[in-house]
């Protein structure tokens, strides 16, 4: 059974619109939100994590579409229209969470891992509960993309790729923040989770 977006023009249009809401700001941010462009004096310590993260994310998205086409037997057979609607909702909720987190972080947010001597631990908004809410927003968006295609195999492949890229990225990022900020960030780590409040 193929995904609705492959067989239903209305579903395809809704999905495309949601993906544009997700991607257009990301494309703009890719040029404006680097340490070089947005925060003078910040030292990049990315170690290739941005390239790996983006590469694995888009590889996962490609696998998501490919496996949904090649493995129709892995399709969800239960409430496909409802799952599609939930998927689109998750895409939009994830985008909202990501950009809210970016706004709260303000000038400290960069696409490449970059730290500066004056950097502080931000604990406002979602940062009170999790250390990487912008990444949590991306996870929610990717879960939505996978659910919208209503296929188990494609969903699992997508989430594994996204998780692998983010896990490497977060390790690099937290190491850089510990080295730069020191004890206050270590204390922050001790009472917050990475992605899901009180869970993980």
Quote the number of domains for the chain.
1
Q: Are 114 and 130 in contact (CB under 8 A)?
A: no
Residue 198 lies in a domain: no
Let me know if residue 81 belongs to a domain.
yes
What is the residue range of 178's domain? 4-190
- The reply to whether 118 falls in a domain is yes
Within-domain flag for 10: yes
Q: What is the DSSP letter of 42?
A: P
User: Over the stretch 36-76, which tens digit does the pLDDT of each residue have?
Assistant: 545 566 667 788 899 999 999 999 999 999 999 999 999 99
Q: Are the beta carbons of 151 and 67 closer than 8 angstroms?
A: yes
Contact 109, 134 (CB under 8 A): yes
Domain of 67, CATH number, reads 1.20.120.1630
Q: Is residue 200 part of a domain?
A: no
Q: Quickly state the pLDDT bin for 118 (edges 50, 70, 90).
A: confident
Residues 6+ apart with CB under 8 A from 28: none
């Amino acid at each position: 059974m193929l995904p609705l977006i492959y067989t239903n023009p209305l579903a395809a249009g809704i999905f495309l619109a949601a993906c544009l809401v997700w991607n257009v700001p990301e494309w703009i941010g890719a040029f404006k939100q680097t340490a070089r462009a947005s925060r003078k004096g910040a030292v990049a310590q990315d170690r290739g994590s941005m390239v790996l993260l983006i590469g694995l994310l888009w590889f996962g998205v490609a696998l998501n579409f490919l496996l949904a086409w090649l493995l129709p037997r892995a399709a969800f057979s239960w409430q496909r229209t409802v799952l599609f609607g939930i998927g689109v909702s998750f895409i939009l909720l994830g985008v909202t969470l990501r950009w809210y987190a970016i706004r709260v972080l303000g000038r400290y947010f960069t696409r490449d891992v970059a730290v500066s001597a004056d950097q502080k631990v931000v604990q406002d908004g979602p940062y009170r509960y999790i250390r990487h809410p912008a990444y949590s927003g991306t996870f929610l968006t990717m879960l939505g993309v996978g659910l919208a295609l209503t296929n188990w195999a494609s969903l699992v492949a997508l989430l594994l790729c996204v998780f692998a890229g983010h896990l490497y990225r977060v390790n690099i990022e937290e190491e850089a923040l510990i080295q730069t900020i020191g004890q206050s960030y270590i204390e922050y780590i001790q009472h917050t989770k990475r992605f899901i409040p009180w869970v993980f």
